[in-house]
Structure 1
């Protein structure tokens, strides 16, 4: 996230920023740990590959389903690839 200003005025974004800073500071104080830390900013994580359905209460799924239901999805859109939770882990 870079700076606190990069966060939208929202608690969730700020909590992600704080979590990143905690991880970065922990790594700075533990040289052996630093080499094993990677922070990935994923926009949306889906259910596990092939085994877990995506929660029907997820915001993004509701938006996409609503667009499909109202006929607002256009043909020819590029393929969307979600990050499965088991891959993210």
Structure 2
């Protein structure tokens, strides 16, 4: 997550390249998977992976909080997503 601003730049660049190259330009993503995607699909995959850090999984837990039970289960905290200043690019 500390690289969140840089990841956003990569996502935006991939979307711009997609607008230029279109659906016919395909790359393997993830590398070694054998699955071919256009650049828009790659940008969406990266964005989905980044947001999955903060969304609840099938057990209702957010990966960003790890084993911190207060943020995972406490009704006063579990619906809040903490924003750390170091996510900010400035």
Larger Rg: 1
* Normalised TM-score (structure 1): 0.35
* Normalised TM-score (structure 2): 0.34
